[in-house]
Structure 1
Amino acid sequence: MSSPEHDHVATDLLAALAMGDDPAELGLDADARDHLASCPSCTDEVAALRETLELIAAGGGTTLTPPPPSVWEAVKAEIDRPAGAPAAAPAPVTSLASRRRGVPTWLATVAATVALAAGVGLGAWVVQPDEKDDATPQAQVLGEAPLASLDAAAEDRGAAVVRRADDHLVLHVEASDLGGPDGTREVWLINVDGKRMVSLGLLPVGEAGDFDFPERLLDQGYRIVDISFEPDDGNPVHSGTSLARGEIA
């Protein structure tokens, strides 16, 4: 074996160390252990591998993004290299692979092959946050409306938020303590002129719901959110009993 100050510990053994294996059980002799303790390259490799393994174990929230195609081409070339043929610019290693234990095949193979063929360790893999399943950007908030009772107390009754969704808008209503008589709750948009109104639909029993409407209504001045009590009488017009109201701003 060459002097420890020039030889690095094999990548598969660094992977085993990152997983918590004991250096002595891996067959690392005193020179290799001394080298590992004093070599920034090897200790950094162990730290990077350990961080990667921790992120993999954590799951839900991280994925491993493959390195550029050039790295994979180098990996393939290394795998396809005939036995006995020299590797491209190999890094000197202390090869104790025959005595390794507890190293997953995928980790040892990828780590060692990438290190030999591309001159890098698992640092070629970039750990990134998982993208959302639907890959849909967060909807843009266009306005909010605090909801309150219409009496003198003006008690807090929740809030409504308008968001853009593709070619239409969505009014999200979170109401609470609406009170009033038993019956149906209906959500309306009232024009600021106080003369026109449009029903968006019935509020679910849980007093929260989403209501789609065309953006032109907002542009035309339908900015007042109203929640009314509606008796089950089949009459589609506003009952005149508003339980909560607020203007989108």
Structure 2
Amino acid sequence: MREIVFDTETTGLDPRSGDRLVEIGCIEMVNRVPTGSVFHRYFNPERDMPAEAEAVHGLSIAFLSDKPKFAADAQAFLDFIGDSPMVAHNAGFDFGFINNELELCGLEPVSRDRMVDTVAIARRKHPGAKLSLDALCSRYGIDRSHRTKHGALLDAELLAQLYVELQGGRQIGLELAAEASLGRQGTMTEQVVAVTSTVTRVFRSPRPHSASVEEQARHGEFMAGFSDPIWSR
């Protein structure tokens, strides 16, 4: 199954108030394994950058001024994501900005039916726990020491690891390894037949498990020492 894990950086919190998308990072995963294929772009937001937003991601207007507008890469973005499910942390926020940009370009928004929200998944698994990306990475032992500021591609890479952990972690790797093993050695039935056909079973006499007459007598004496036992009522 193909999925896209992604993150965005913006000028603020609300596209309806004029905030714009300034960075997007997408990672392709197939069967929950990154393929190495990514989509990463910076965009000129055509407006100022509030100091509060710049403090979060470190992207200044001076840096973004020579970057393309979203419209220039909109079709490349749509081609990359295709019709795959899209995984994001607090996905409603990211979908809101992406769809706002697409609508400004006169393009159809991405259906929210494709949205996979890791915050919602984490909330079900860890009710009452902190659900930030940092907190969840710490919970699952995901190294984020190189994350000094938010960055769309960096955060998408961390989220891809977190998403795998939230879906079962290393168990997925074991399943893939088993599939690969089957591909090399034949079907599971063939492997079982091959193994059982080479096993020589050694007959062992059954061991006695019932109590001896002497043991039963000692038990009777022990039980007789109880005064008005509940099991006799």
TM-score clears 0.5: no
By relative contact order (CA 8 Å, sep 6+), the higher-ranking structure is: 2
TM-score between both structures, scaled by the size of structure 2: 0.27
TM-score between both structures, scaled by the size of structure 1: 0.26
The structure with the largest strand share of the pair is 1
The structure with the largest helix share of the pair is 2
